[in-house]
Structure 1
Amino acid sequence: QGSDVPILMLTARDQLEDKLEGFQMGTDDYLVKPFDMPELAARLMAMVRRQRGELAANRLQVADLVLDAGTFEVMRANQVISLSPTCFRILKILMRESPRLVTRESLEQELWGDTPPDSDTLRSHLYKLRQAIDKPFDTALLQTIPGQGFKLAVMR
């Protein structure tokens, strides 16, 4: 429990109750003996593909800025960047939507639901985020589009 290693249960027990118990215990797939080796190989390859897809889904990248949602790590130009939890969430939203524009309203809705704090709160977090991900670097990525919203993209 708590591990992300895929589990394939190989067993002679073929009753539905046995299979359900195996899945309840955390197995990802269940194969009853006797089985053919090509079927075992196909099931293992499918598990590896799913595992890789999940790992890739945790990683977002815009230019040289990388966010790993699984480890809560942010890097730019191979430098680790420390962010507050709220700045991390804002960055994740902007990276997920990049290069599309994210309106202030949709950003506030995703961050705080129907009860957003005062307007200076978001502005303050965006200022801190900009200081962390843009100021130390040659190219700014976080863009404010007046009256429209924000986006994360390489400026042309």
Structure 2
Amino acid sequence: MKVLIVEDDPAIAANLYDYLEGSGYEVDLASNGNAGLQMARGESWDAILLDLSLPGMDGLTICRKLREEARRDTPVLMLTARDALDDKLNGFVHGADDYLVKPFSLKEVGARLSALIKRYRGQVASMDLRFADVRLALSTMTVDRAGHPVKLPPKCLQLLRILMQSPARTFTRAELESEVWGEHQPDSDTLRAHIYMLRRALCGPGECDVIETVHGVGYRLVAPGQDA
């Protein structure tokens, strides 16, 4: 997923860039309004993080031009130090989809960004996670691959759900262990054994492994034919 950050504060821009890139997004950056509008119009983005106060052209003008002139409906999350209600309403009037007041939590940025992208893609009501030909139905916690049912034990189901919710991201061993086992940390071979069981269950005859081991780090999903 591609995200454009339009932010003139170098420290804020760097923090956003590092956080989103670490979360699996493809990120690019503009440090002034004119460059931001040009990049926003020139490429397709899944979302735009847009500062309100920018040199060259302010965020409200960028947002208005993006909507009215370029006819782009890309989700825009506006970032600003202005917290008055009128300022927020003005942002929405000019086409912003959501609004965050500085200082903000990077985790909240990530959560709001994910929600905006899901709504934009029509995925809010979807109860399925999909990656390549693997489907996980969240309503029933059942899995199939290429239409064929796959039986998984509960811990393997949890691991697959976590990986499929952020398919571009590499999860560390510690993250997966914490998510699945919580405070009851398993011994060093338990995660490896469950990943092995998950791989065996998903990989039928002639099917490619969709779980990649990132040596020294953890695991991620990889589509058949995708470069490791």
TM-score normalised according to structure 1 size: 0.62
Compare relative contact order (CA 8 Å, sep 6+) and give the higher one, 1 or 2. Answer: 1
The alignment yields a C-alpha RMSD, in angstroms, of 1.8
The match for 2:182 is 113
- Larger Cα-atom Rg: 1
CA distance in 1, matches of 2:205, 2:185: 30
CA distance in 1, matches of 2:130, 2:123: 15
SS at match of 2:186: coil
2:102 is the counterpart of 1:102: no
1:57-105 CA distance string (max 9 Å, x none):
x210000000011111101011000000110000000111102101100
1:89–1:137 distance in 2 versus 1, CA, 3 Å: farther
2:160 is the counterpart of 1:91: yes
SS at match of 1:119: coil
The match for 2:210 is 141
Unaligned runs of 5+ in 2: 1-118
1:108-139 CA distance string (max 9 Å, x none):
11111133110111111111000011243432
CA distance in 2, matches of 1:54, 1:80: 25
> Which letter does structure 2 place at the counterpart of 1:110?
E
1:62–1:53 distance in 2 versus 1, CA, 3 Å: closer
Q: Which residue, 80, 98, 106 being the options, matches 2:149?
A: 80
TM-score normalised according to structure 2 size: 0.43
Contact 1:98 1:151 in 2 (8 A): yes
Displacement after TM superposition at 1:53 (Å): 5.6
1:55–1:137 distance in 2 versus 1, CA, 3 Å: farther
Displacement after TM superposition at 1:140 (Å): 1.6
2:64 is the counterpart of 1:64: no
Percent identity, please: 39
CA distance in 2, matches of 1:124, 1:62: 22
1:137–1:74 distance in 2 versus 1, CA, 3 Å: farther
SS at match of 2:198: helix
> Which letter does structure 1 place at the counterpart of 2:208?
T
Contact 1:134 1:142 in 2 (8 A): no
SS at match of 2:185: coil
Q: How do 1:5-20 residues align onto structure 2 when only pairs under 5 Å count?
A: none
Unaligned runs of 5+ in 1: 1-48
Contact 1:130 1:142 in 2 (8 A): yes
> Which letter does structure 2 place at the counterpart of 1:115?
H
Q: How many residue pairs align between the two structures?
A: 105
